[in-house]
Amino acid sequence: MNLETIKSEIEASVSGCRLEIIPNASPSEQHSLLVDAARAVAVARFLRDAAHLRFDFCSNVTGVDWPSKEISEKIKVKKILDGVEQEVEETRKTQSLGYLEAVYHLYSVEKKHGPFVLRLRTEDRENRAHLPSLTPVWRSAEFQEREIFDLFGIHFDGHPDLRRILMWDEFEDHPMRRDYVEPNDYEYEPTAHDEVLQKAKQHQNGVGC
């Protein structure tokens, strides 16, 4: 199952889609295909329905948080030093915008092949953290998209029942994000042992409040 071939087939069948192969340098070499959100549902249907692919089962959906980060790179610039033009090396720093991802692992029960890894990426982590739901294509994605919505904060547009699945409705944060700060409420911890016990004592003594 050649990822380049599948990418070319999708591009020929789904007009206007933007695809990118994301390499995986680990021993598994489980490379993935990043698809733009606008064409994600059409691409998903192609992967499910194409007679030679038939990715009819979505086994797993997970979220990934990629926070904003500063990137430093060395560049060479020309400057006038002591009246002479010289090439010098400087460090240029840029800020990369953070984003969230939903990663789908697909298999074909009919054709007995897989996994095929499909990635969807939000525009950012806050105001534009929306992706189309793929639950209408693979029903097994329903609860897993709800879990990602709950823990990472991705809003899956078109999901049949998008609501929290682990945290309570009034909870305002997303515990799986990398910048999540856990609340200081350890006085209610029913099994306060070891590290949790220490935090509870600090809370009771007003430390870190």
Per-domain boundaries in the chain: 3-65+100-174, 179-209
Which amino acid would we find at residue 36? Answer: D
CATH 1.10.10.10 correct for 3-65+100-174: no
Which residues, listed in sequence order, are joined to residue 132 by a DSSP beta bridge?
157
Q: Closest Cα to residue 7, out of 37, 46, 38?
A: 46
- pTM of this structure: 0.80
| Residue 26 confidence (pLDDT) | 84
Question: How confident is the model at residue 49, as a pLDDT?
Answer: 97
| Distance separating alpha carbons of residues 153 and 175, to the nearest angstrom | 9
So what's the pLDDT on residue 190? 55
What tokens were used for 117?
């890894």
pLDDT at 41: 97
- pLDDT of 198 reads 74
Q: What is the pLDDT of residue 93?
A: 78
Instruction: Please identify every stretch of the chain with a pLDDT value under 70, giving residue numbers as ranges.
Output: 184-194, 200, 206-209
The predicted structure's pLDDT at residue 209: 47
Is the separation of the CB atoms in 57 and 107 below 8 Å? Answer: yes
